[in-house]
Chains A and B, each alone.
Chain A
Amino acid sequence: MSESTSQSVTEPKKGGHGAPAATHAPAAGAGGHGHGHVEGQAHLAHHFDTYQQQFDAGKLGIWLFLLTEVLFFSGLFCAYTIYRGMHPEIFVYAHYFLNTTMGAINTCVLLISSLTAAWAVRNAQLAQRKLLIFNIVVTVACACTFMVVKYFEYSHKFHDGLLPGPNFHPTEQVWELESFKKKHPEAAEYAEHLDKLGEERAHRKSAAGSADATVTGEYERPTEEQIEPLIKAGLIGPHAEDPYRISKPKNAHVFFGIYFCMTGLHGIHVVGGIIVWLWLLKRAAKNEFGPKYFGPIDYAALYWHLVDLIWIYLFPLLYLIH
């Protein structure tokens, strides 16, 4: 039968290219449709005729799955785009609360893990078992580092009251944050000043009943340049909750809702990836992968690269807002 013939020719040909054949050619032909009992015919599923067909099918399959993942995240990117387009002040306001350094560390960590994942594919193709195991371990380690950093970030947020929805009660005012003060020192000072005045005004208002307690001329107006960051962040002006006082923009929690959804869903995918890599680590240790069968490593690496890709977009969109 033509199928068997092609299979029996397959093994030695591959052996000649530095892609080692862990098999002995003549025995391979007897397998026919590959019931997995002949050495070298292992890992050829019964419904495939050749290793190439099996590999190609798996490759197409994983690319289709990646498509679905892209569309899965698209909903969140859509929500992000719409809200940022309609309420840029919320995004400017909220991004000061995020730690850019941690985000950058996570980016680098994921990029390194992408390298080791791609390298692992190469190792599997060349049947370099020890190096394959090493690269998978490094990938998993990077992934775990990512999750640890994420854990720190999330716990900071919980601690600082930066939760979605009605639970959004930041413990620190945005102009008190290091990131804001560093970037806009004059605006920070002015904001503190305004805030104090606002408090005094509020006291007078409550003391005097419903009497109008507007005070004018009590402070020197700074330059436009100085207060521009405050306007951009929706702290004063029409988007602030209280237009007469320095306060946060209306519905500022929406950013954190989107932030937690996007990074949370991404984090779940990282954890899923870790589980897959650990399973593959076990199989790699059992020396299951070689030049005729390295599909699982390849497919897992593709998935992992997608996870990295999504983070490549998440990082500037969430952390690097200007």
Chain B
Amino acid sequence: MASPSATADVVAPRSTSESENYLTHDKGVLSWIFTLDHKRIGVMYLCSVLAAFALGGFFALMVRTELLTPGRTIMDHDTYNQMFTLHGAIMVFLVIIPGIPAALGNIIMPLQLGAKDVAFPRLNLASYHLWVVGAVFMLSSLVINAVDTGWTFYTPYSLTTTTAVVPAAFGAFILGFSSIFTGLNFIVTVHKLRPPGMSWFRLPLFVWALYATALIQVLATPVIGITLLMMIVERTLHIGIFDPTLGGDPVLFQHFFWFYSHPAVYIMIVPAFGVIGEIIPVFSRKRMFGYKFIAASSVAIAFLGFLVWGHHLFVSGQSVLAGTIFSAITFLIAVPTAIKVFNWITTMYKGVIHLDTPMLYALAFLWVFTIGGLTGVFLAVMSVDVHLTDTYFVIAHFHYVMMGGAITAFMGGLHYWWPKAFGRMYNEKLGRMAACLVFLGLNVTFFPQFILGSRGMPRRYYNYLPEFQSLHVLSTVGAYTLGVGFLITAFYLVRSLKNGRIAPANPWGGVTLEWQCSSPPPYYNFHKPPVVEAGPYDGYENLMYDEKIGGYLPRKAKSG
């Protein structure tokens, strides 16, 4: 990578929007539905995930609008329960868990690795179609009688409610398999399809992050599968495993559920860490500080994430012994996470910072994720959690990490790799403006919720005391700001597909392998497997910005 002549693709990579690339390779809807090309599958995932994000966001705005006033604003209480359940279920299962790995990972990871495709392209396609089927089931619940149990499906209410729990749970079950197959594919790809010279410690950090995520996906997701299956069987056949009136144990459901769902939040955030690990060095024109530590911490977080699920059960009836154990291990997870944050900041130190849109999102991530992560440690303290659990403090915490963490990183990655995937540059001014709006909206929406929670406002409540209203109104204003920010983003991104400047192969000056091929990449990724002779963050000094193409070129080619 440091010596571009070793890569046989192009000496001076040109944009190839007119010439053959993976988007123009084959025509027709069927060529997309039955494609085996990881890039096309990634694009399909991207569109689907963004559509689901819009739907989930719509439900979020419904929730926030209702909360403008105590008592009824625009809907009744049962509908309100359905609104927040759908918002949660769609965002968790349809957007954030597949989000970065399936959409960005599928498009970019094999390119970054130097491979021709993922290990099992047909399994990859099956993953996508399973996502669609799962989405259909989940949304069918919306149509029949939207589920109102909260996205956590806690028993015994989920066993007795008359809403359509079974389709929603079954949809989540199928989505679980989509996730498992993606993870399986990525693990085998990283193990088996690396080109010559790509040793483990030359892998880009995005690949490390996806690998760690894939490990979690493979180990944790089957447990939610069996849990949802058992819940469906319990609901239909009344076998008596979770239902206390039949001799069952509802806390057992919570153990089963959170054994997956806690590692699931690491499925959501670890890829985000990977994206940030890509953006920060490139936009600081500096190699990543502490590469090995960041790689190792991804795996450490993946492992530790399996040991802490009980911190969701502190007040459920779980024993104090178990609570203590889980509390202590939860504190530990802050360590590898902090290692990452410090290394990123140190990377920026004495770098040449370029405040393009992806970097703005990355900087926003650092700020917002740190707040979210630290508040997680507050919640890990059992005595504090007794007061804060099931209040808006928890909601603020996880939205800071999920929205401010995962989604912000997703946006950053989307902007970073947009030119690569679609061959077009978006409007940078609008990009920066939207990024600022999103950052602003995020904080205005969720920071007041910390205050609300610590003052006692419970979560999932339709009605509330009048003293909370001003903060709720502020939060709703923030939510609408967020919505506007995302709408603007959607607008200029879609517009760029037709009107955007043609993108060069390397608009940002990255040195990882995906920037070696044209934008968009050709169908077959690389002519010959690239020979890797350097690490993923070496060689910024060999690239020079070329005004004509609006991107970076290797110095040799320019002078030659």
Residues of A within 8 A of B (CB): 1, 3, 33, 45-49, 53, 56-57, 60-61, 64-65, 67-69, 71-76, 78-79, 82-83, 87, 164-166, 250-251, 253-254, 256-258, 260-261, 265
Contact = CB atoms under 8 A, between A and B. Distances in A.
Contact of B247 (A60, A78, A251, A261): A251
**Chain A CB within 10 A, most for which of B222, B227, B233, B252:** B222
B254 to A, nearest CB: 13
A65 B184 contact: yes
A254 B256 contact: no
A253 B192 contact: no
Contacts of B218: 64, 67-68
B256 A78 contact: yes
Interface string B105-130: 00000000001111111010000000
A71 B184 contact: no
Given A47-B115, A47-B193, A64 B184 contact: yes
Interface string B439-461: 00000000000000000000000
A66 to B, nearest CB: 10
A64 B239 contact: no
Interface string B165-198: 0000000000000001000110110011100000
B180 to A, nearest CB: 5
B239 A253 contact: yes
Given A1-B528, A60-B192, A82-B249, A257 B241 contact: yes
B223 interface: yes
Contacts of B330: none
Contact of A166 (B180, B184, B185, B238): B238
Residue from the set A53, A61, A253 with the largest chain B CB neighbour count within 10 Å: A61
Contact of B222 (A48, A61, A71): A71
Contacts of A165: 237-240, 246
| B interface secondary structure, majority | helix
Contacts of B256: 75, 78
22 contacts: A46-B117, A47-B117, A47-B121, A57-B119, A61-B119, A67-B219, A68-B184, A68-B219, A69-B222, A71-B222, A71-B223, A72-B223, A72-B225, A83-B241, A87-B247, A166-B246, A253-B240, A253-B246, A254-B247, A257-B237, A258-B241, A261-B239
Given A56-B192, A68-B218, A75 B239 contact: no
Contact of B226 (A75, A253, A258): A75
B187 to A, nearest CB: 6
Contact of B191 (A33, A60, A250): A60
A51 to B, nearest CB: 13
B221 interface: yes
A260 B239 contact: yes
Given A57-B119, A61-B119, A165-B240, 7 more contacts: A45-B121, A71-B222, A74-B223, A251-B247, A253-B246, A253-B247, A261-B241
Contacts of A33: 116
A49 B123 CA distance: 19
Contacts of B225: 72
Contacts of B187: 60, 64
Nearest to A73: B226
A47 B185 CA distance: 13
Contacts of B120: 57, 61
B240 A74 contact: no
A201 B212 CA distance: 67
A258 B120 CA distance: 35
In this complex, the member of A53, A73, A83 whose beta carbon has the largest number of chain B beta carbons within 10 angstroms is A83
Nearest to A61: B188
Nearest to A87: B247
Q: Closest 8 CB pairs between A and B?
A: A257-B239, A251-B247, A165-B238, A75-B226, A72-B222, A47-B117, A71-B222, A47-B116
Contacts of A71: 219-220, 222-223
B248 interface: yes
A68 B183 CA distance: 11
Kindly name the residue among A45, A56, A256, A258 whose own CB sees the greatest number of chain B CB atoms within 10 A: A45
A74 B222 CA distance: 9
Nearest to A53: B192
B230 interface: yes
B239 A250 contact: no
Interface in B205-259: 218-223, 225-227, 229-230, 233, 237-241, 246-249, 252, 256
A3 B220 CA distance: 38
Contact of A57 (B192, B223, B241, B529): B192
B528 A254 contact: no
Contacts of A74: 222-223, 226
Nearest to A257: B239
Contacts of A57: 119-120, 188, 191-193
B230 A79 contact: yes
Nearest to A260: B239
A69 B222 CA distance: 7
Contact of A64 (B188, B237, B247): B188
Contacts of B229: 265
B228 to A, nearest CB: 10
Given A61-B119, A68-B180, A258-B241, A75 B188 contact: no
Nearest to A45: B121
A186 B10 CA distance: 89
A44 to B, nearest CB: 12
Contacts of A45: 121
A65 B192 CA distance: 16
Contact of A251 (B192, B246, B529): B246
Contact of B238 (A65, A68, A164): A164
Contacts of B239: 164-165, 253-254, 256-258, 260-261
Contacts of B529: 3, 49
A243 B230 CA distance: 32
Contacts of A260: 239
A253 B240 CA distance: 8
A75 B223 contact: yes
Contacts of B188: 57, 60-61, 64
Contacts of A261: 230, 233, 239, 241
Nearest to A1: B528
A254 B237 CA distance: 12
Nearest to B122: A45
Contact of A75 (B227, B237, B247): B227
B368 to A, nearest CB: 33
A316 B528 CA distance: 55
A234 to B, nearest CB: 12
A87 B222 CA distance: 27
Interface in B245-292: 246-249, 252, 256
A73 B225 CA distance: 10
A72 B226 contact: yes
Contacts of A253: 239-240, 246-247
